[in-house]
Amino acid sequence: MNVVIKVSDQTKEKLIAYYQDKKKDKSIPYAVFQAVDMDTVITLYESGKVMFQGKSADVDAAMWKEIDGQNNSIQKEDSHDKEYYYSTSIGSDEVGTGDYFGPIVVTSCYVEKEDIPFLEELGIRDSKKISDDTILKIAPIIAKRIPYKSVILSNLEYNNKYTKQVNMNKIKALLHNRVLYEMVQENHPFDYIIVDEFAREKRYYEYLKDAPYIQKGITFMTKAEDKNLAVASASIISRYLFLKEMDQLSDMMHIPLPKGAGSEVDKIGEEIVDKYGEDKLKEIAKLNFKNTQRILHTLLY
């Protein structure tokens, strides 16, 4: 069982004093200390978060919540999700598939169990809530410690590949397969290979039937970046690379390119066509999006 709570500075001092003679010599990144009390491992982080691990984790956490004046109930993690969360794993995720401008970026990351506290202190577990500004700061920190493989597919390449037979999901499957295969070839020991499910397993492998190499043994799950830190880290690095590519495209166009596929995108698209011509869209935009028809005024309502 694993329980995480956050305590005040005053309670942090009480924790330090209470576990003074139970501290382990092992140094944990961003941790004040790690201690063992009976069958519970206690890790206090500089942020004030305390992780309790063991059979009596909920009992020990409840005691410190009471000392800290907290009355809300402790949230216990689902045992099935915990198995994937507290594992050494390879995970992949992508960004850019819902953006008219900018590339598709897919990344695989290798995260060992020992890396989990480091990533938690960076706030990686709540990756969907992380702002772009924060991603620009923390992604390089992650990349220095966590092995990763990324592939960036420009929109020119995307438009050349996209057909009725080769849709977005097939392109994603091919890119995921590539970065996962490359990571596995480095011979890292792992418990799981995890992918955020965008297609059923059978369909995913159908997309890969003509691929020169196929990575098998994948665990597919929904909301994987909330359940596994390898996937979450892959999401953040992919987003970082996407943002950097968007900055370069904006500089090249001399126009700030918006993200997504909303009305602001149509407005900027029309400006680009007026300035550079229709052919420029093939280089910087995903032409199969309906934005193209709205920008070129060929959409039938």
Q: Say whether pTM exceeds 0.75.
A: no
At the second CATH level, the architecture of 2-76 is 2-Layer Sandwich (3.30)
Model confidence at 127: pLDDT above 80: no
Tell me the pLDDT tens digit for each residue of 234-271.
Answer: 999 999 999 999 999 999 999 999 999 999 999 999 99
> Residue 242 burial by CB count (10 A; 0-12/13-18/19+): exposed, middle or buried?
buried
Common-topology check for domains 2-76 and 88-249? no
Spatial neighbors of 127 by CB under 8 A, at least 6 apart, are 225, 226, 232, 235, 236
Average pLDDT for 78-87: 76
Q: Are 117 and 53 in contact (CB under 8 A)?
A: no
Domain ranges of the chain: 2-76, 88-249
Q: What token pair was written down for 69?
A: 């004046």
Mean pLDDT of the chain: 89
Burial status of residue 238 (CB atoms within 10 A of its CB: 0-12, 13-18, 19 or more): buried
Judge whether 150 and 238 are in contact, CB under 8 Å.
yes
Residues in CB range of 121: below 8 A, 6 or more apart: 29, 30, 45, 46, 47, 49
Angstrom distances, CA of residue 59 to CA of 19, 53, 64, 66, 135 = 16, 11, 9, 11, 36
| Mean pLDDT within 145-172 | 94
Which of 76-80, 100-104, 158-162, 252-256 has the least mean pLDDT?
76-80
Q: How confident is the model at residue 73 (pLDDT cuts 50, 70, 90)?
A: very low
pLDDT of residue 208: 96
CATH architecture of the domain covering 88-249 = 2-Layer Sandwich (3.30)
Percent pLDDT > 90 in the chain is 63
Name beta bridge partners: 33: 44
Task: List pLDDT tens digits, range 185-220.
Answer: 999 999 999 998 888 899 999 999 999 999 999 999
**Range with top average pLDDT, 35-39, 75-79, 169-173:** 169-173
Q: Is the pLDDT of residue 9 over 70?
A: yes
- pLDDT (0 to 100) of residue 76: 45
Mean pLDDT, residues 4-23 taken together: 88
User: For residue 45, which of 82, 75, 6 has the smallest C-alpha distance?
Assistant: 6
User: Nearest 5 degrees, angle CA 144-CA 219-CA 90?
Assistant: 15
Quick one: pLDDT at residue 259?
93
- Please give the sequence-ordered ranges of beta strands (E in DSSP) within 80-208, or none if there are none: 89-95, 104-111, 148-153, 192-196
**Where residue 104 falls among pLDDT bands split at 50, 70, 90?**
very high
Q: What is the C-alpha to C-alpha distance for residues 241 and 139, in angstroms, rounded to an integer?
A: 9
Strand pairing class (218-221; 31-37): unpaired
How would you write 85-101 as a 3-class SS string?
Answer: HCCCEEEEEEECCCCCE
Query: Could you tell me the pLDDT band of residue 18, with boundaries at 50, 70 and 90?
Result: confident
